[in-house]
């Protein structure tokens, strides 16, 4: 379908004076335009360099993320590694504005999950503060991600088009939410009945005769990682087929330069943001779903901006014609941004991309030593004032950082705390009668940091900090599962759709078992090692198991949980966590990080 005109304002920051235009016009290129034969040189003044700035998986992290969630690993010249603090919208906006200087052709794009699973400052207001911040920092276009569907299609449409929340109304007197001043692209998401795209499938960025098409998709498996209500009435299509379809549409419209924004990603061999993803050594490079996607997306697409896995990489993967093409991701939470140079040929209207030289892409740290963007500081202060009565309420005390999202270990200390909290909230006979609790690791969105984030003091956990860890407010479910069904569920952590990238469930006190990762698939679970309170799990016995409603619905690749019977609905997971912290900690006796020794992993 043809692209509707963008609703956003004219991008005044791209307007350039005659001197700058003259300077840009002197750029020459010895490289060949895409598809041209070797041996022919582009004419002087025929090409201009377009700067593509991109990021992904911001998740409403307006304030600098706490603990390990707010660091990136940096590889040093001597081969050592160090962690660098990064992120926060005040610094992200400043970084992008600094990067744009001297670049008369600059476009900023994102690859989904701008919102959803957000800290309280954004999540409390249904992510309106984040959309406002994205408008201010000059975002031009984004794809949807799976988390854009957390509150359903109507809420996603509201974020795009504006209007006050249907239940909570307007948050500031005399102010109506304006919506996103940039298009959300959802090419592979259609209405089940009409077959029409939910939102625009593509858009065309234009400046001074330069045209670049953007196609946006989320992962086809979005229904597997979002609660059923969020995707009701929608169909999600194959990423490659969708991108190739709309690349043809753009090509027929005369738009030859095309970028795909894909909310799906990969896993680089190193977690260092400045790792050379194209290193030729054994085991180097990148793996995961994006590698297969990149190999099959049509050569008409000149660059792939990706996300979802929260990893940092700037890789080169050959397209189906064998030409190199950049595939990038900027970690998450606004800690990095990617700067990609696209050399645009005015005559062919395409990106110069030879078999030897693809567009160049580099990830940069959004460091916290630079000045803050003043308009973002004002934005944070305004929304923090509204959130303060809820956010600053103390709910517990800790003696040290309790690692959750930031740990690379299969079992995290915060995972133990959360699952214990869920068990305690549901184990009474009149509250579900749970015997054990299981927590999906993806639902743990941050660490609990000892250092104060505000005036509360070190070691104090506020409601806002607890919300940042558990922002979905899923209701707790307690269901009957046989021992055999439990064993199947534990096998599903490391088999089926989770075999390549295991999702290790966090377990409550008393449940222990071993995973042998030297084996494959379901065999990785050592069945006779699974014990509850020291007694081997009985396949024929029925157990009462607590979990959040997302897991109970089979989310994250755990269909075994959908067979649970006799469901009891308890408090929200956030209420369970805050109640546990209040009951088990005080200023004089803070909660210490658990040992995280319930799951044994053999590598």
Collapsing DSSP to helix, strand or coil, 112 comes out as coil
Residue 549 above 60 pLDDT? yes
How large is the average pLDDT for residues 247-259? 98
For residues 387 and 124, is the Cβ–Cβ distance under 8 A?
A: yes
Work out the angle between the directed axes of helices 89-100 and 128-137 (0-180°, nearest 10). Answer: 20
How large is the average pLDDT for residues 334-348? 97
DSSP 398: B
Q: Residues 386-430: pLDDT tens digits?
A: 999 999 999 999 999 999 987 889 999 999 999 999 999 999 999
Q: What is the mean pLDDT of the chain?
A: 92
pLDDT in the model for residue 328: 98
pLDDT in the model for residue 312: 97
Collapsing DSSP to helix, strand or coil, 87 comes out as coil
**Does 560 or 38 have the greater pLDDT score?**
560
C-alpha span between 99 and 358 (Å, rounded): 21
How large is the average pLDDT for residues 549-572? 95
The conformational region for residue 246 under phi > 0 = left, psi -120 to 50 = alpha, else beta, is alpha
Collapsing DSSP to helix, strand or coil, 486 comes out as helix
CA 440 to chain centre: 16
pLDDT in the model for residue 21: 33
């Amino acid at each position: 379908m043809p692209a509707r005109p963008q609703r956003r304002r004219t991008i005044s920051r791209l307007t350039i004076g005659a001197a700058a235009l003259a300077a840009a016009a002197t750029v020459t290129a010895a490289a060949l335009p895409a598809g041209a034969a070797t041996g022919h040189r582009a004419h002087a003044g025929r090409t201009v360099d377009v700067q593509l700035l991109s990021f992904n998986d911001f998740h409403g992290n307006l304030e600098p993320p706490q603990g390990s969630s707010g660091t990136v690993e940096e590889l040093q010249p001597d081969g050592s590694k160090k962690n660098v603090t990064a992120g926060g919208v005040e610094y992200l906006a400043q970084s992008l504005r600094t990067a744009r200087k001297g670049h008369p052709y600059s476009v900023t794009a994102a690859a989904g999950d701008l919102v959803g699973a957000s800290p309280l400052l954004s999540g409390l207001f249904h992510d309106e503060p984040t959309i406002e911040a994205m408008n201010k920092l000059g975002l031009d276009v984004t794809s949807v991600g799976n988390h854009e569907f957390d509150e359903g299609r109507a809420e996603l449409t509201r974020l795009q088009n504006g209007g006050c929340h249907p239940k909570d109304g307007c948050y500031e007197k005399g102010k109506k939410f304006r919506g996103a001043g940039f298009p959300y692209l959802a090419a592979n998401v259609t209405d089940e009945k009409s077959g029409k795209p939910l939102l625009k499938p593509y858009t065309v960025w234009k400046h001074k005769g330069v045209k670049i098409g953007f196609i946006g998709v989320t992962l086809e498996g979005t229904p597997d990682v979002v609660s059923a209500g969020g995707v009701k009435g929608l169909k999600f299509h194959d990423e490659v087929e969708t991108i190739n379809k709309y690349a043809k549409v753009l090509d027929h419209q005369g738009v030859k330069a095309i970028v795909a924004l894909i909310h799906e990603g990969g896993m680089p061999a190193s977690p260092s943001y400045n790792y050379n993803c194209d290193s030729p050594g054994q085991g180097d490079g990148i793996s995961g779903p994006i590698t297969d996607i990149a190999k099959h997306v049509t050569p008409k697409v000149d660059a792939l901006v990706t996300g979802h896995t929260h990893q940092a990489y700037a890789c080169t993967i050959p397209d189906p014609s064998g030409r190199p093409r950049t595939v990038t991701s900027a970690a998450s939470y606004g800690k990095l941004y990617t700067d990609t140079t696209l050399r645009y040929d005015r005559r062919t209207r395409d990106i110069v991309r030879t078999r030897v030289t693809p567009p160049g892409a580099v990830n940069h740290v959004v460091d916290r030593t630079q000045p803050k963007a003043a308009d973002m500081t004002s934005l944070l202060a305004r929304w923090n004032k509204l959130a303060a009565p809820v956010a600053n309420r103390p709910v517990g005390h800790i003696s040290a950082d309790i690692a959750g999202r930031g740990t690379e270990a299969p079992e995290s200390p915060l995972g133990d705390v959360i699952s214990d909290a869920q068990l305690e909230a549901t184990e009474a006979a009149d509250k579900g009668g749970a015997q054990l609790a299981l927590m999906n690791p993806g639902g743990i969105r941050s660490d609990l940091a000892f250092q104060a984030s505000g005036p509360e003091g070190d070691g104090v956990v506020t409601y806002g900090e607890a919300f940042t860890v558990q922002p979905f407010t899923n209701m707790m479910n307690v269901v009957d599962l046989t021992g055999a069904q439990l064993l199947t569920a534990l096998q599903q952590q490391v088999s089926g759709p989770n075999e390549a990238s295991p999702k290790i469930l966090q377990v409550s006190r008393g449940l222990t078992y071993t995973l042998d990762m030297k084996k494959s698939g379901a065999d990785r679970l050592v069945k006779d090692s699974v014990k509850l309170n020291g007694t081997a799990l009985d396949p024929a016995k029925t157990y009462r198991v607590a979990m959040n409603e997302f897991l109970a619905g089979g989310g994250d690749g755990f269909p075994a949980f959908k067979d649970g019977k006799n469901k009891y609905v308890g408090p929200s997971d956030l209420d369970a966590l805050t109640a546990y912290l209040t009951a088990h900690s005080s200023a004089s006796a803070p909660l210490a990080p658990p040992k995280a020794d319930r799951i044994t992993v053999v590598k």
